[in-house]
Amino acid sequence: MAAESSSRPGTRAGDAGDRTGALDAPILGTPDDYPARPQGRRSVLAYVVIGLLVAVIAGGWGYVMMAARGNPEVRADVVSYNADAADSAEVTFLVHKPADSVASCRVRAVDVLHTEVGSKEVTIPSGRSDLTVTERLKTSSQATSVLVQYCNLV
């Protein structure tokens, strides 16, 4: 019977039939086969560079998230809405903005499927920082909800 070659780790072609022997050596070696890691400034410098890189990336991500949020100086909160009529809806909302600035808000009415059935751009005049506004929207069908989509300084 001819000797079979094996591709198992730690075996040689000559001892393919000998299954009682130990493996020659670990495939990747032992810790003693590699030089000791150098200690000192080099590893500290690597951690400092990695830390600075992470801080720059986190700062950039924070800026992107803040920019995507829109204009944080203007905020609108819906106080109430009435969507009982089939062809209109009324909304009352409170706008918080700098007193010396004019703002523009988009009010939106949606139906039960969240499809827009009416919208209106509302200009908020300067003079007061907190202003309660009531607006009536014409709708193409029965609205189920009215919301302020966004407000921006003009």
Q: What is the pLDDT of residues 101-154, one digit of tens each?
A: 899 999 999 999 999 999 999 999 998 889 999 999 999 999 999 999 999 988
Give me the pLDDT at residue 38, please. Answer: 67
DSSP run (H or E) holding 4: none
The answer to whether residues 90 and 109 belong to one domain is yes
pTM above 0.75, yes or no: no
Query: Do residues 99 and 131 both lie within one domain?
Result: yes
User: What token pair was written down for 110?
Assistant: 């949606």
Residue 112 CA to residue 116 CA, distance in Å, equals 10
Whether residues 80 and 148 share a domain: the answer is yes
Domain boundary, last residue among 50, 68, 86 = 68
Q: How far apart are CA 5 and CA 13, in angstroms?
A: 5
Structural domain count of the chain = 2
Residues 136 and 81 placed together within one structural domain of the fold: yes
- Whether 5 maps to a domain, the answer reads no
What residues make up the domain containing 62?
A: 14-68
Gap between the Cα atoms of 87 and 84, Å rounded: 9
pLDDT at 17: 52
Question: Six-digit token pair at 123?
Answer: 């200009």
Tens digit of each residue's pLDDT (9 = 90 or more) over 72-111:
688 999 999 999 999 999 999 999 999 898 999 999 999 9
